Chain A
Amino acid sequence: MRMLKRPGFIASIVLILIYLVIGIAGQEGHLLSIIGNAMDTMMYIGWALALAVIMSYAGYVSFGHAVFVGIGAWMTAVTIESIMPSHPFTISMFIVALLLGAGVAALVAYAVGWVVLRLRGAYFAIATIGLDYVVLYLAIYTLSRAGISPPLLFRNLSLTVQSFYWMHFTVFVITLLVVYYIKASRFGFGLAAIREDEEAAEVMGVDTFKYKLMAFTLSALIAGMWGVPLAFRHAKFDPQDVFSLLNSVIMIVENTVGGLGTFLGPIVGAYIYYGLYWSLLTKIAQASFVVLGPLIVIIIALVPEGLVGWLREKFPRLRKALE
C-alpha cells in the first residue's frame, strides 16, 4: 500500500498527533485558550476538506455548502430535543446525532444531486444556494410550528470544554482519513479526470454522473458531521447562523487560497484563513471582515492557483511532496 507512505497521509497522521497532544495537554486550566483555537482550526479544516471533495477534486463549486453543516446542527437539535429528551449527556447522544446529521445531509445531497448534477458549472452552484435557503426557512418554519422562536437553546446539557474538544477531534480524524482516501484512490483519479475534462473522462470509462453524485454525497456527509460538534459547542441551533451564506463563502475561500486539486491545499487554506481572521479579530474586532475581504481578494489576485498550487508550479521538485 504505497498510499500509506505518501505525504498526504503522513501529514494527516502528524496533524492528528498534534491535536491529540493539544487535547491531552489542554486538560490543564491555563491552556484553555489554545483549546478554543485548536477546535476552531479543526472545524475550519474540516469544512474546507468537506467542500474540497466536490469543489477541489471534482471541479464543481457548491456555493451553498453550509446547508449541510446546518442540517448536521439541526439533526443534533432533533436528537437532543426529540429522540433523547431529558437525557443527561452521554457519548451515545453524540453518536446518534453524528449518524443522523451525516445521514440526512448525505440523503439530501443525493436527492438534490441526482437532479442538479446533470447541470454543468454555474447552474450547479446556483442550485446549491437555493437549497441552502430552502432548508433554512424549512428549519425556521419547523421551529415556529413547535412554538420556538429561534435560536433553539439546549438548556440541559452541562458539558466541559474537553468534551467539545474530543467531539471535534473525532470528526477531525474521520474527515482527514476519509478525504485522504478519496483523493488517493481510483475514485480520486476519476474525480480529477472529471475536473480536468469531463467529456474526455466519460469517453475513457469514468462513469461521470455516478462519480459526481458520489462526490457530492460524501462531501455533504462530511459537512453534515461538522454541524454536530458545532451545535454542541454553542449549545444551540440557530438557523440564521449555521445556514449563513458566509459559512459557504469561507469554505470556498479556504479551498481557493490553499490551491485546488491537492489534498494539502484546503488544509493550508484553512490555516491562512483562520490566522488572518483571528489576528484581525483580536485587533480590530467588528471591523475584521472589512479588512479580511479585501485581503482575500488580494491573495487570490496574486496567487490565483492557491498557495500550494503556486509552490508546486514554482518548485516542480516539490510536486510529489505537496500532493
Chain B
Amino acid sequence: MAGEILRGENLVKRFGGLVAVNEVSFEVKKGEIFGIIGPNGAGKTTLFNMISGVYKPDEGRIIYEGRDITNLKPHERARLGIARTHQVVKPFPGLTVLENIAVGALFGPRYGKISEDEALEIAREVASFVGLGDKIELPAAALNVQEKKRLELARALAAEPRLLLLDEVLAGLTPAEIDSMLGLLKKVRDEKGVTIMMVEHVMHAVMNIAERIMVLHFGRKIAEGPPEEIANNPDVIAVYLGDPSLALKFVKRRGGAS
C-alpha cells in the first residue's frame, strides 16, 4: 500500500485472563502524526510494547515498511528505524545527558556506520534541538521530570528514526511546557519527516496536533478518524463521560493545573 509505514493486523495480547489488546488493526501513513487515546487500562501502552517488540503479540502481525517484524527483537526493530519514549521515563541515570543521547545515535539505524566521536557530535546537536544544550555534562539523574522527558525524546531522535513512538510525553507538563513540546514535535515531523505515533492522556493536545486518532477502550478499537470526527463521536464521548474520574482529570488539565 502506498504511503503506509506501519500496519497492525488483528493484534491480540493477553495477560493471564485479561485481554489487554483485543483484535486491534490499524494503519499509519508515512509522515503523519497518529494519536492513540483511551481511558486508563485501554491497552495503549501494551500496543506500543508490541510495536517496539517488548511484548510479542499472541495473535496478529505487525508490518513495518512492508516487512513482517512480528518476530523481531526490540533491538532489531530499533535498527530498522523504530524509536520510542517511555511513559515512565527510563534515562540512564549515571550517564551524562550527552552520553545518554549518544547511545541513541550509536545503536539506532546507523549502528556500525558512525564512530563514538560522531555520535557525541550528533548528541550535542540533538541536545540543543530539544533545549537541553546547557545540560549536556550533567548526569541524567540530576534532571527534573520535564527535562527527563526531553532527554527521552532526544535519545529517540538521535537515532534518526523513521517511526517515533511517544508514550505520554506530555503528561506531567505545565501548559506552557506542553506548548513548547508540541512545537518541537511539529518541527520533528516537518523538518525531519519522521512519522509520529503518540499515546496521550492530554486530550486537547492530541486533538491539536494529530491528523488522525485511534480510540481504544478495554483493549478494543472503538473509533478512528480525524480529530473533529473523534470529538463528536458518541461512542467516544460515552467512554470518557462514563469514567467520572477521568472526565474530572480532563477538566482539571484544561483549567491549567499541572
**A residues neighboring B (CB under 8 Å):** 2-3, 184-186, 189-190, 192-193, 195-197, 199-208, 261, 316, 319
Contacts and interface: CB of A to CB of B under 8 A. Distances in A.
A202 B102 contact: no
Q: Specify which of B53, B78, B99, B159 lies most central, judged by the most chain A CB atoms within 10 Å of its CB.
A: B78
Contact of A196 (B74, B95, B106): B95
B116 A189 contact: yes
Contact of A208 (B75, B94, B108): B75
Contacts of B90: 197, 199-200
Given A192-B95, A192-B99, A197-B92, A204 B117 contact: no
B49 to A, nearest CB: 9
Interface stretch (B3-11, B79-87, B175-183, B226-234): B79-87
A202 B74 contact: yes
A203 B86 CA distance: 10
B116 A204 contact: no
Contacts of B84: 203
B103 interface: yes
B117 A193 contact: no
A261 B94 contact: yes
A6 to B, nearest CB: 11
Interface in B72-114: 73-75, 78-79, 83-84, 86, 90-96, 99, 102-104, 106-108, 111
Contacts of B94: 192, 195-196, 261
Nearest to A184: B116
B52 A189 contact: no
Contacts of A204: 75, 78, 83, 103-104, 107-108, 155-156, 159
Interface in B178-235: none
Given A202-B75, A204-B159, A189 B117 contact: no
B103 A199 contact: no
B59 interface: no
Contacts of A261: 94
B137 interface: yes
A199 B84 CA distance: 12
Contacts of B155: 204
Nearest to B155: A204
Interface string B101-145: 011101110010000110100000000000000000100000000
A249 to B, nearest CB: 24
Given A184-B116, A185-B116, A200-B86, A193 B54 contact: no
26 contacts: A184-B116, A186-B106, A186-B119, A189-B106, A189-B107, A189-B116, A192-B94, A192-B95, A195-B94, A196-B95, A200-B86, A200-B92, A201-B92, A202-B54, A202-B75, A203-B53, A203-B74, A203-B84, A203-B86, A204-B83, A204-B107, A204-B155, A204-B156, A205-B75, A205-B108, A206-B103
Nearest to A309: B94
A105 to B, nearest CB: 28
Contacts of B79: 205
A205 B111 contact: yes
Nearest to A313: B139
Nearest to B96: A319
A35 to B, nearest CB: 38
A206 B155 CA distance: 13
Contacts of B78: 203-205
Contacts of A206: 75, 103, 107
Given A203-B54, A205-B111, 13 more contacts: A2-B117, A185-B116, A189-B107, A201-B92, A202-B75, A203-B84, A204-B83, A204-B104, A204-B155, A205-B107, A206-B75, A207-B73, A316-B137
Interface string B2-41: 0000000000000000000000000000000000000000
A184 B94 CA distance: 16
B116 A199 contact: no
B137 A207 contact: no
Contacts of B137: 316, 319
A193 B117 CA distance: 17
A194 to B, nearest CB: 9
A190 B103 CA distance: 7
A193 B92 contact: yes
Nearest to B107: A205
Contacts of A205: 75, 78-79, 104, 107-108, 111, 159
Nearest first, the 3 closest Cβ-Cβ pairs linking A and B are: A205-B78, A205-B107, A196-B92
Nearest to B116: A186
Contacts of A207: 73, 75
